[in-house]
Amino acid sequence: MDEQYQKIAKMIDHSLLSPILTIPELEAGCQLALAYDVASVCIMPCYLKRCAEILEHSTVEPSTTVGFPHGGHTMLVKLREAEQALEDGCTELDVVVNLSRVLSEDWKYVETEIGLLTRTAHQAGQKIKVIFENCYLADKHKIELCRICSAVNVDWVKTSTGYGTGGATIEDLKLMREHTLPQVQVKAAGGIRTLDKLLEVRDLGVSRVGASATRDILNTCRERLKLPAITF
């Protein structure tokens, strides 16, 4: 497979998080992810085990959400969600911060929760992305979250769930890259619908994007690279 195509495809977490997703759509979405060989499929927890079965023996990772979409679950419930997801084959957890605690600047609680979930993922040999949901936060909140995520060594900080009032912005991505340690990667989610937008955020240091327009993005990529179309 063309190296340039693969670098782009392996930036995409194919999002299958619609609450009205059907089982046939789940199956088709996973097959699409396999055909285009993306980084991961991010699926609702109830379908994770089936997703992991479909993706087994491929290079596409099964991932899911914890505390989605508002982050307000109790810490114990989030921990149990994470443990169940790991048992079901998840390799990357996308965890929503407790927005209310962040806005209350209850930083001890926030750091304890993110640290607990990060240790749980890492002890299982898997990775964690922490979703800020930036549309509800001031810059001071985002910067403090970057500090906490760097301190507890999360794998990615992520802009949005895709279900808030706004998605990834250039300003937020610059801020998150600037205020996290180099080993913490940045994921853009919400509003990444074209190849040009993906390339724009990649230039800012983004290593992953969440996308539901995966087919359109990667078809455009293949056209520009003069690669044969993927029929799916």
| Active site amino acids | 94, 158, 187
Give Rg (Cα) of the chain.
Answer: 17
What distance in Å separates the CA atoms of residue 108 and residue 106, rounded to the nearest whole number?
A: 6
Residue position matching structure tokens 């927890």: 45
Under 8 Å CB-to-CB from 160, ≥6 apart: which residues? 131, 132, 133, 134, 135, 166, 167, 168, 189, 190, 210
87-97 exposure pattern, b = at least 16 Cβ within 10 A, e = fewer:
ebbbbbbbbbb
Under 8 Å CB-to-CB from 83, ≥6 apart: which residues? 120
What distance in Å separates the CA atoms of residue 67 and residue 25, rounded to the nearest whole number?
A: 23
CA-based max dimension of the chain: 52
